[in-house]
Structure 1
Amino acid sequence: MVGIKDVARRAGVSPSTVSYALSGKRPISDETRRRVDAAARELGYRPPAAVPAPAGGRSRILALSAPLRPGVHPPEVMRSAVSVVTAARRHGHDVLLLTQEEGERSLRRVIRTTPVDGLILMDVGLEDPRLPLLRSLDRPAVLMGIPADPQGLTCVDLDFRAAGEACVEHLAALGHRTLALVGSPPEAYLRRTASAHRLVEGFTAAADRHGLGSCVHPAESAPGSAGRLAERLLRERPALTAVVVHNEPLLDPLLRAFRRLGARVPGDLSVVAVRPDEQAPAPCVPVTSVSLPAGEPGARAVDLLVDRLHGASAPEVVLLPPLLTVRAGSGPA
């Protein structure tokens, strides 16, 4: 029988390092963890402390990994979490919510100590460090987000690239020639959050296709930063006539800041937002928007996970099409 010492020997580390890497009880470098994971897979090592599912059946518990990291908007996370819980209850499952920032370590701990049937992951990065673990598991997982390489995974999310393109197409049709994107917080781009990067890709690709001037501004979500950002946009881009906002906490403060600076919406500036659906508070100006259907990705993720639990196949990627709703916040340039 393969033991922890065999894995340690193959990975070139101590047995205690193997234990910490597999349990997540202490921080271990990514390189060391990858070596330990690879050695465990090659040798077919199964940790004895792992808790199996109940004999003859399932636990009917799903784990939802929703790490509350810097740059994440907690109300949006909670709306999505509620949709997952609601859908899971329809299928007769409970949900274990995981919010620790060190998502991979908390996942390892839960997998080893709790007999969860499957996992759902939020805040997915393009090169998410949790992916190697998911690909090695003996239970299904669904991602609410699309990594750069979804092979062997099951993923569902709004088509953020198409959402960015839809915003630009709408503004280009209205005659706007100079656009700005007020994007997610800088932390989201630094950890390469898939939704933030894909929206920028769609925005810049559509702007280039139409020959429009465009710029992207990652933005802190603190309302107090809206005034400085609005002033900077108007000062540095005097030809600016339209702004796309992908930062829900900053939307209303930014609209009010433009108003204080004498820029009328939509008279001087058109504003289009990629924002949560009607569950979110309405801004002071009814802006044209691509809605983020908070309930749909969570419900679809649960449905896909339950299908996999019952042995059904699932597509690698499910993209929800964006729906742009025109309101008074956008008009001709």
Structure 2
Amino acid sequence: MITIKEVARHAGVSMSTVSYVLSGKRTISEETKRRVEQSIVALGYHPNAGARALASNRSQVLGLVVPLRSGVNMPVIMQFVASIVASARDHDYDVLLLTKEAGPGEAHRVTARSMTDAVIVMDVESDDPRIPELRTVDAPVVLLGMPDDHEVLSCVDLDFATAGRQMAGHLADLGHSSIALIGSPPAVYERGTSYAARLLAGFRGEAGKRNLQASVHPCEPGYDSVAACLDEVLAPGRDTTGLVVHNEAILGTLLLELRRRSLDVPGDLSVITLCPDDVAENLPVPLTSIAVPAQELGAIAVEMVMARLAQEHAPEVRLLQPQLTDRGSTAAR
């Protein structure tokens, strides 16, 4: 492995000069800087993480807070995690995954001990108890989600309220007058998870605006829960003809149960969902959907962190507009 000593000898300078070129802590003449950089390239020198941290007073690590709570869909969560890790590596950062439900002080703990330079927080609640503490963290904090009170915080998320409105409106435009939302597991709503609450508000608002008969049914994963949920949705007198599904974990089971009941999609029942595109495309019946842009959201969260570290941007809120793809699982009534 090439060392800083060998770079210094090759460039004809001291080791401290090489360190200053790498860290930028002192002004070095352009000629000397160019000679050092040429030696670095010629020798293939790569400063190790410890050296970079000492030189920059940074850990080169991002903290990612992902509490593993009930009702969380891990395959989708891991799409976000993979995107954040890949994007962080593009900036020469590693990611420290924090999965324990450690309370509001977790961000303080990892930044105060110089374990991380910044923190990205997922699974954000509408009235999140971590928000007051996060405002006082002496490091950039970005929320992948949006609490009701997000003043002076950086947030990025899908516009779930608009997504709820679009899905209900899509069915209304096709002539459906009685629709149902099959939602996330009850625990997700009980703890006030922001994305679920915002989608539900958008769905209900659009249903009321269009004078639709609309019901809401939180649903646990598992065959028995899905079957019981469909019993409610399709109970006599409801005349439900359209489903909005906001629960990625049950989609395959839902379609199998509809088939068992000899219900055709979209002939008997239109189905539209919010989930990653690869999930919607590869189901037994490809579903019309609004995409969960996990890769894009994760990359934006990292870019926002880097901008804050470079002091290039004040806190900001970015909501991505929903993109609906029609795959033929909804039909006119």
TM-score normalised over the length of structure 2:
0.81
Q: Which residue of 2 aligns with 1:187?
A: 187
Kindly provide the CA deviation profile for residues 135-182 of structure 1, in whole angstroms up to 9, marking residues without a partner as x: 001111000001001101000000000101111111111000001000
Alignment of 1:258-273 (within 5 A): 258-273=258-273
Distance in 1 (alpha carbons) for counterparts of 2:264 and 2:83: 37
Q: Could you tell me which residue of structure 2 aligns to residue 294 of structure 1?
A: 294
Give the letter aligned to residue 244 of structure 1: V
2:134 maps to what in 1?
134
Q: In the alignment, is the contact (CA less than 8 A) between 2:280 and 2:288 conserved in 1?
A: no
1:160 aligns with 2:170: no
Which has the larger Rg?
Answer: 2
Alignment check: 8 A CA contact 2:288 2:325 kept: yes
Q: Would you say the 8 A contact 1:150–1:316 is kept in 2?
A: no
> In the comparison of the two structures, how many residue pairs are matched?
281
How high is the sequence identity, in percent, across the aligned residues? 45
Paired AA for residue 274 in structure 1: L
- TM-superposed CA distance for 1:54, in Å, is 4.7
String of CA shifts for 1:237-262, please: whole Å, max 9, x gaps. Answer: 54100000000011111111122122
Amino acid at match of 1:60: Q
Give the direction of change, closer, same or farther, for the CA distance of 1:264–1:237 in structure 2 (3 Å limit): farther
Per-residue CA distance 1:31-64 (angstroms, 9 max, x = gap): xxxxxxxxxxxxxxxxxxxxxx857431111000
For residue 15 of structure 2, what is the aligned residue in structure 1?
none
Structure 1's 231 and 133: CA in aligned 2 closer, same or farther, altered over 3 A?
same
**2:73 corresponds to which residue?**
73
Instruction: Could you tell me which runs of 5 or more consecutive residues in structure 2 were left unpaired when the two chains were aligned.
Output: 1-52
The answer on whether the counterparts of 1:65 and 1:103 sit within 8 Å (CA) in structure 2 is no
In structure 1, what is the Cα distance between the partners aligned to 2:240 and 2:229? 13
Alignment of 1:21-32 (within 5 A): none
Alignment match, 1:240? 240
Instruction: State the secondary structure of the residue aligned to 1:231.
Output: helix
Helix, strand or coil for the counterpart of 1:165?
helix
1:67 touches 1:103 (CA, 8 Å); kept in 2?
A: no
Decide whether the 8 Å contact of 1:164 with 1:203 is kept in 2: yes
1:90 is aligned to: 90
Deviation at 1:283, TM superposition (A): 1.6
Name whichever of 142-151 and 99-108 sits farther off.
99-108
Residue 116 of structure 2 is matched in structure 1 by: 116
Seen in structure 2, the aligned counterparts of structure 1 residues 88 and 165 have a Cα distance that, compared at 3 Å, is same
Aligned mates of 1:315, 1:133 — CA distance in 2:
16
**2:226 equivalent to 1:226:** yes
1:205 and 1:280, CA in 2 relative to 1: closer, same or farther beyond 3 A?
closer
Structure 1: 5+ residue stretches without partners: 1-52
- CA RMSD across the alignment: 1.7
Deviations 1:172-194 (A, max 9, x none): 11000001000111111111000
Counterparts in 2 of 1:299 and 1:94: CA distance versus 1, 3 Å = same
C-alpha offsets along residues 10-49 of structure 1, whole Å, 9 cap, x if unaligned? Answer: xxxxxxxxxxxxxxxxxxxxxxxxxxxxxxxxxxxxxxxx
Q: What secondary structure, in the 3-state scheme, does the structure 2 residue paired with 1:136 have?
A: coil
The residue that corresponds to 2:37 in the other structure is none
